[in-house]
């Protein structure tokens, strides 16, 4: 399929002006034994869930802050698992709507999330996970900037996947929706997720772009790297985000919990 420009025509530009930008956060209920199981046995199931809860709260505050910064922005939490009173209080406070992820593999659930955002009137949609608590608003802003001229944007992670994916959600001129392509026939939870996704988009003639690499926190070694990056490097840079994660890590550092 030939390459096509993403510069909108007059009618497309008007539609973009009327549409809002939306970020969808993908998260699970922070239940012990269900989340962050790869942090064990160095951390207990309860400690893993505690850290994951901090991650989710930090991403909620990041995205909620972004959405509240300017008109024309919305935030959504795509939730999996039982109700969580404390977490949902935060979404209410931050004016983040809640939807269920529903059934299916990750690709099916992300496609459903983008279709839901489109039904709510979104023109550009970005999905973020909760494994990268040190993301900043600059990452989010850059993703939406890229979608002004591209169909798809990915934030690549060092493990071969991605921490962020975004699409220009208005239907393309030839009727091709990006999410109908990039989430299908992907071997999820492998080191080739991004490569496969990029190839799928390229084969369909979608124009894609990458943001800078960032990291997910999946293993205990990742936690120790996060401890240094957040408490040492980012602290010196004046980074004010990830306050919930910071509190957990500081508590563990003072108790010697991270010296293994």
Q: How confident is the model at residue 176 (pLDDT cuts 50, 70, 90)?
A: low
pLDDT recorded at residue 175:
59
| Ramachandran bin of 141, using left for φ above 0, alpha for ψ from -120 to 50, beta for the remaining angles | alpha
pLDDT at 236 over 70: yes
Give pLDDT tens digits for 92-128.
999 999 999 999 999 999 999 999 999 999 999 999 9
pLDDT at 7 over 90: no
Q: How confident is the model at residue 172 (pLDDT cuts 50, 70, 90)?
A: low
* Fold of the domain spanning 10-216: Spore Coat Polysaccharide Biosynthesis Protein SpsA; Chain A (3.90.550)
- Rounded Cα gap, residues 61 and 32, in angstroms: 23
pLDDT recorded at residue 35:
97
Domain boundaries, the chain: 10-216
Structure token pair of residue 230: 């957040």
Query: How far, in Å, are 102, 114, 158 from residue 185 at the CA level?
Result: 19, 17, 21
Give pLDDT tens digits for 190-229.
999 999 999 999 999 899 999 999 999 999 999 999 999 9
Radius of gyration of the chain (CA): 18
Average pLDDT over residues 14-35: 88
């Amino acid at each position: 399929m030939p390459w096509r420009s993403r510069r909108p025509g007059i009618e497309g530009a008007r539609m973009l002006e009327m549409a809002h930008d939306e970020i969808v956060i993908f998260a699970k209920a922070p239940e012990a034994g269900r989340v962050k199981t790869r942090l064990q046995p160095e951390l207990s199931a309860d400690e893993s869930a505690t850290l994951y809860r901090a991650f989710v709260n930090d991403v909620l505050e990041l995205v909620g802050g972004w959405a509240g910064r300017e008109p024309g922005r919305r935030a959504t939490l795509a939730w999996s698992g039982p109700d969580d009173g404390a977490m949902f209080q935060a979404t209410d406070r931050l004016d983040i709507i809640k939807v269920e992820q529903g059934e299916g593999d990750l690709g099916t659930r992300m496609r459903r999330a983008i279709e839901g955002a489109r039904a709510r009137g979104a023109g550009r949609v970005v999905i973020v996970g909760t494994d990268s608590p040190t993301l900043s608003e600059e990452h989010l802003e850059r993703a939406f900037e890229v979608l002004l001229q591209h169909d798809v944007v990915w934030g690549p992670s060092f493990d071969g996947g991605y921490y962020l994916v975004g699409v220009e959600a208005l239907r393309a001129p030839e009727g091709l929706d990006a999410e109908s392509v990039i989430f299908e026939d992907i071997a999820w939870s492998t080191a080739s997720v991004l490569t496969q996704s990029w190839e799928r988009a390229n084969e369909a003639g979608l124009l894609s772009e990458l943001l800078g690499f960032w990291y997910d926190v999946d293993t205990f070694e990742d936690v120790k790297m996060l401890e240094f990056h957040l408490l040492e490097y980012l602290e010196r840079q004046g980074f004010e985000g990830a306050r919930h994660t910071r509190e957990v890590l500081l508590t563990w550092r003072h108790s010697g919990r991270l010296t293994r």
